[in-house]
Structure 1
Amino acid sequence: MNTPIFPTQFVVAGIGTEIGKTIVSTILVEALQADYWKPIQSGALEDSDTEAVRRLISNSGTQFHPEAYRLTEPLSPHAAADIDGVHISLDNIVLPQTSNALVVELAGGLMVPLNERELNIDLVQRWGLPVILVSRNYLGSINHTLLSIDACRSRNIPILGIIFNGPTVTSSESFILSYTNIPCLGRIGQEDTLTKDVIRHYADQFAELIRTR
């Protein structure tokens, strides 16, 4: 059997907000039958990203690890924490112990502030985990994707690859991949409705990639 391309633990990061990190995380969790952890949830506490992933996967092996911070407002973590009277400390955001693979989903992009001095990327660097970057095509997405990649490279954070979510724009994607020399791990189409069957369909594709790369 070939060695999987994915390590045991990795971070799913987006080039911005509403990029599709949770969709990608769900597919990778299902493909790998991995555990899932979103360390910071801002807003939507009754229908969190953890609950969304739980609803959409089919395997019974995934464990869901509790958030380190649950903030009431759908804002940048530093702003949501301020409203809740909470100070986010990186010391309190510790990777869960598990013998399973682990998918970690960030709250927002890499440069999103967690407190007055520290960003999501500081957390990723502290963990020492590689990143899968989720990109989505829109005006400005090339810039946002390249900036996210440069931010990781400046801190020696490995990038496993890019996953494009949503409608394909070949000229944009081709430029990003050729300019950065980072592999495309897959593409997720524009799905009107997300169901377990849709997630399973994409998970099967990613599972095959993992086996054959």
Structure 2
Amino acid sequence: MSQRIFVTGIGTGVGKTLTSACIVEALQADYWKPIQTGLLEGTDTDTVKGLISNPVSVCHPEAYRLEAPASPHLAARLEHVTIDVPGVVAQVAGIQPSARPLVIEGAGGLMVPLTEQIFTIDFIQQLDAKVIIVAQNYLGSINHALLTAQVLKQRDIPVMGWIFSGAHHTNEDEVIGWSGYPLLGRIPHTALVNRTFVKEQAEKLSLR
């Protein structure tokens, strides 16, 4: 079976979607955002589709599209929708190509609830996916990064490593050392995010 890579973040707004686009471009992988919230702000699928330039990758449609910019369990509750997580997991076999990886982007971090009982980390385990952690420097980010690493270790979930986004900070070296997970790359801040930028950053990632 092809490799499944789940892209999670140490929090919200740390650059998961841009990072996902770079990973997709680097591996010529397919992309899937199973549960999209905040539809009024646009979709991550459309963003990734507009940023990749290779002719192979396919961006698959979401399983759930919810309007509220909130956690999936709350957005679903507001729209009187029940998210069927086992059903979403079952869709993977039907959309994953046999010859290339599938990059799956989550919503927020590991403990974001998808339903009243199931959290993102449970979803990752059901998908049997490896994880790439996206981190960014801000006040409290060391705590968030190491908590993320710790809970993945406790669940025995395989982690490929870290990708840092935004301005470089020396905290990155400490997080890598303390967590024991390797650095896969970093995506710097730029005023112009386009296909050229994504292709350039994709070539610098250490994913293979």
TM bin (shorter chain): over 0.9
Q: Deviations over 1:5-55 (max 9, x none)?
A: xx7221010001001000100001011111000000001267210000001
Residue segments in structure 1 that go unaligned for 5+ positions in a row: 1-6
**Deviation, structure 1 residue 64:** 1.4
Query: Do structure 1's residue 30 and structure 2's residue 25 form an aligned pair?
Result: yes
Q: Which residue of 2 aligns with 1:194?
A: 193
Kindly indicate whether the alpha-carbon contact (under 8 Å) linking 1:21 and 1:134 is maintained by their aligned counterparts in 2.
yes
Q: Deviations over 1:63-91 (max 9, x none)?
A: 11111111111111011000110111211
Residue segments in structure 2 that go unaligned for 5+ positions in a row: none
Q: Which residue of 2 aligns with 1:152?
A: 152
Q: Which residue of 2 aligns with 1:204?
A: 203
2:120 corresponds to which letter in structure 1? N
Q: Which structure 2 residues correspond to residues 99-114 of structure 1 after superposition, within 5 A?
A: 99=98, 100-114=100-114
Runs of 4+ aligned residues of structure 1 deviating over 4 Å after TM superposition are: none
TM-score, normalised via structure 2 length:
0.93
TM-score, normalised via structure 1 length:
0.91
Q: Identity rate of aligned residues, in percent?
A: 47
**Deviation, structure 1 residue 108:** 1.2
| Cα distance between partner residues in 1 of 2:147 and 2:202 | 28
| Cα distance between partner residues in 2 of 1:44 and 1:75 | 10
| Cα distance between partner residues in 2 of 1:17 and 1:97 | 26
Q: Which structure 2 residues correspond to residues 1-213 of structure 1 after superposition, within 5 A?
A: 8-44=3-39, 47-94=42-89, 95=92, 96-99=95-98, 100-170=100-170, 172-206=171-205, 209-210=206-207
Kindly indicate whether the alpha-carbon contact (under 8 Å) linking 1:45 and 1:70 is maintained by their aligned counterparts in 2.
no
RMSD value over aligned CA atoms?
1.3
1:136 corresponds to which letter in structure 2? Q
- Aligned residue pairs total 202
1:202 corresponds to which letter in structure 2? Q
